[in-house]
Structure 1
Amino acid sequence: MQVDFYHLTQLPLERALPRIAERVVAGGGRLLVVAEHEEARQALDRCLWAYAPESFLPHAQAGGPGDARQPVLIAGDIQPTNGARNIALADGLWRDGALAFERAFHFFDDERIVEARQAWRTLGDRGDVSRRYWKQGENGRWEQAA
């Protein structure tokens, strides 16, 4: 399983997450986006509808009758009712339940750097996990740092 750590230093989550979601869906995958707080999930829902005028990224918040059909599902916990094998932890909190997926995207900012470093170290002790650390360069592009 692969875990990609995305350190948000220049672009906010609202600009970074949609691009990842687009790539997952374009590759035929499904994505579960997890955020603990309802306000954050609502903001992510609005963001995915309006992040770019020329694109459409089908998604919904978990709990509706069509969850299983959604390529991108926003939820408060790790319940991939849409059959997702990819998970985005969008609130800066690492959850070990993400290890049940094929790939995890762990987004965090400077407020959550201590927790992200701890998760990085803990996952480094596991032989079944491949880790990558991405940071934003001067031009705002993602650069693999580890």
Structure 2
Amino acid sequence: MSAEALFYHLQHQPLEAMLPGLLMKCLDRDWRVVVQTGSPERCAALDAHLWTFADDAFLPHGTAADGHAEDQPIFLTAAGDNPNRATVRFLVDRAQPPPLAGYERVVYVFDGRDPEAVAEARLRWKEAKEQGFTVTYWQQGENGGWERKA
């Protein structure tokens, strides 16, 4: 099985609304995940959000500030590191991808209202295909659900 690159096109809801659901699906499958953000400030904001996004749900995660990175099922970072030995890497907020060899899944989440983010996603799509990833494109529907478009 070849590695997958999945592109999630945000249109109707922000990252904060959809990221917890995708991360929960990863945990349900016992996948270790690293989420790379575009800046340290954004990393801190997502960290805080993932602790409080729902009263009835819990997403175990951490950052470098928490220590014990190798024990975290979900690790948030603004860098290209992978201290928890994740096989799934999320790239959000136009984060610059590190070398992606060794990941089973790479998930690009981009804002469809930002023309620069859309142009960058097209470039990442081309790079992923050149690197041998099986690529899929998912577009956000009005209700927040995902429709596979390619």
TM over 0.5: yes
Q: 2:6 aligns with which of 4, 7, 28?
A: 4
Find the aligned partners of 1:99 and 1:90 in 2 and give their Cα distance: 18
Residue 5 of structure 1: CA displacement?
Answer: 0.3
* Structure 2 unaligned spans of 5+: none
Query: Where does residue 66 of structure 1 map in the other structure?
Result: 68
Q: Distance in 1 between matches of 2:128 and 2:90?
A: 16
Deviations 1:109-145 (A, max 9, x none): 132000101111232334x210010001233210000
With the length of structure 2 as denominator, give the TM-score of the two structures. 0.89
User: Of 98, 101, 116, which residue of structure 1 is paired with 2:100?
Assistant: 98
CA contact (8 A) 1:93 1:108 kept: no
Deviations 1:60-105 (A, max 9, x none): 1125431111111001112111111111101123515234311011
Aligned to 1:29: 31
Question: Which of 110, 123, 126 is residue 128 of structure 2 equivalent to?
Answer: 123
Residues 34 and 89 of structure 2 are in contact (CA less than 8 Å); yes or no, is this contact kept in structure 1? yes
CA distance in 1, matches of 2:99, 2:21: 23
Aligned-pair identity in percent equals 32
**Letter aligned with residue 120 of structure 2:** E
- Give the letter for the 1:130 counterpart: T
Structural RMSD (CA): 1.5
**Matched residue count:** 145
Q: How do 1:99-114 residues align onto structure 2 when only pairs under 5 Å count? A: 99-110=101-112, 111=114, 112-114=117-119
Unaligned runs of 5+ in 1: none
Match of 1:88 among 90, 108, 121: 90
Deviation at 1:28, TM superposition (A): 0.9
Conservation of the 8 A alpha-carbon contact between 1:32 and 1:84: yes
CA distance in 2, matches of 1:78, 1:129: 19
TM normalised by structure 1 equals: 0.91
